[in-house]
Structure 1
Amino acid sequence: MSELSFEETASKVRKLAKDPNNEEKLELYSLYKQATVGDNTTKKPGMLDFQGKAKWEAWNKKKGTTSEEAKTQYIEFAKKMFTKYN
């Protein structure tokens, strides 16, 4: 298989045969946001927004990771998801 670009990989992740578990989804989300937006500068969601808070915290843990590093990590993690869920 030839190497996929970040954009191709992200598109392929959306079409997995089965849904990844929540931890895997958070990892994909946080790496994608870090790669495309950079460090999380948004306000932390309220304590009753469990999903928003989990996503915010996962992304915030990637603070300081460069866009290129995040893209590389995203692609590597996505490859594991392709093997596991396709």
Structure 2
Amino acid sequence: MSTLQEQFEAAVAESKSLPERPDNMTLLKMYGLYKQGSNGDVQGERPGMTDFVARAKYDAWAALKGKPQAEAQQEYIDIFNELKG
């Protein structure tokens, strides 16, 4: 059995080739979980109001502040497996 880190890295790599593109809310959730699972709590300043995409990504990551990296990795894997079918 592979480690959680290996499963997470495999899910991240495979997520780029999903048969169907997930909706934007799911993509944002996965982005936040990916950042939390790989980097820990949010870093840097929140992007300005004119950069909608970067601001949404930052907010998705910031919403997970305090969540353990292993828990974020597992949630990412679970969402990926659900999307993969």
TM (norm. structure 1) is: 0.89
Q: Which residue of 1 aligns with 2:60?
A: 58
Residue number in structure 2 paired with 1:74:
76
- 2:9 and 2:70 map into 1 onto residues whose CA distance is 13
Q: Which runs of 4+ in 1 moved over 6 A?
A: none
Query: After the TM superposition, which residues 1-86 of structure 1 pair with which residues of structure 2 at under 5 Å, given as runs?
Result: 5-83=7-85
Q: Distance in 1 between matches of 2:56 and 2:26?
A: 12
Task: State the percentage of identical aligned residues.
Answer: 34
Cα RMSD, aligned residues only = 1.5
Q: Unaligned stretches of 5+ in structure 2?
A: none
Q: Distance in 1 between matches of 2:27 and 2:44?
A: 20
Flag structure 1 segments of 5+ consecutive residues without an equivalent: none
Offset of 1:47 from its aligned partner? 0.2
1:21 Cα deviation (Å)?
0.8
Paired amino acid for 2:11: T
Question: 1 CA distance for matches of 2:45 and 2:68?
Answer: 21
